[in-house]
Amino acid sequence: MTASVDIVAEVTVGDLHRPTPCAGWDLADLLTHMTVQHRGFAASARGAGADLAVWDPETVAGAVRADPTGAYAAAAADVLAAFDTDGVLEAGFAMPEFGPGATFPGAMAIGFHFVDYVVHGWDVARSLGVAFTPSADVLSAVLPLALAVPDGEIRTAPKSPFARALDAGAAASDLDRLLLHLGRSPDWAPAGPQRGSTSSRSLSAG
């Protein structure tokens, strides 16, 4: 998750119009989603996630558009602090976006969030046209969680976080397998000018 903060630190207000691999979302929409999800998961870890208001993108949209890096970094710090508490893995996380009364064990909910932020880190990097290379330990931890996400018609429902899985060839890398299973093409690139950075990011387990 800290690596996603590093990637988002490269975003300027002028980048917010950029397209992303998330259909129908520009970079402002994606960062708003990422920021409010941090806030929602932090609230759930503290026992207050049943309130739909904490998951409402409009509560953070203005801050993201005014200061995307600051708003995102603050939300990431909040959720990391919330996850770093005794008993959080055994706690029940209210997840009302899954339906009224939906609750998941903390370890499972944190796993959901982990998958999202490896993938969304890649989404932001692709939107900017910079490289994002998760480390081997992160990929080994996240890949089984991602491959356990069910495919099928549920992926075509409104507000589904992932598109239908795409075929992965035998030679696909672990990162490509992750992306393809979650409906993203590893070859996706935004139309128009890119920053052209050839630098590579390393994503650590911390």
| pLDDT tens digits along 15-38 | 999 999 988 899 999 999 999 999
Asked whether residue 195 is assigned to any structural domain, the reply reads no
Structural domain containing residue 11: 2-182
Q: How many CB atoms lie within 10 A of CB 16?
A: 18
pLDDT at 74: 98
Spell out a b/e string for 44-67, using b for 16 or more CB atoms within 10 Å of the CB, else e: bbbeebbeeebbeeeebbebbeee
Coil, strand or helix at 152 = coil
pLDDT at 203: 39
Closest to 124 (Cα-Cα) out of 1, 21, 196, 201: 21
pLDDT at 156: 62
pTM for the structure as a whole: 0.87
Number of domains in the chain: 1
User: Mean of the pLDDT values across residues 184-188?
Assistant: 89
Selected residue with higher pLDDT from 93 and 24: 93
Bridge-based pairing of strands 103-105 and 133-134 is unpaired
pLDDT at 181: 87
With bands split at pLDDT 50, 70 and 90, how would you rate the model's confidence at 122?
A: very high
The rounded distance, in Å, linking the Cα atoms of 33 and 120 is 10
Q: What is the CATH number of the domain that holds 61?
A: 1.20.120.450
Token output for 67: 């200061």
| pLDDT tens digits along 147-157 | 887 776 666 66
Asked whether residue 198 is assigned to any structural domain, the reply reads no
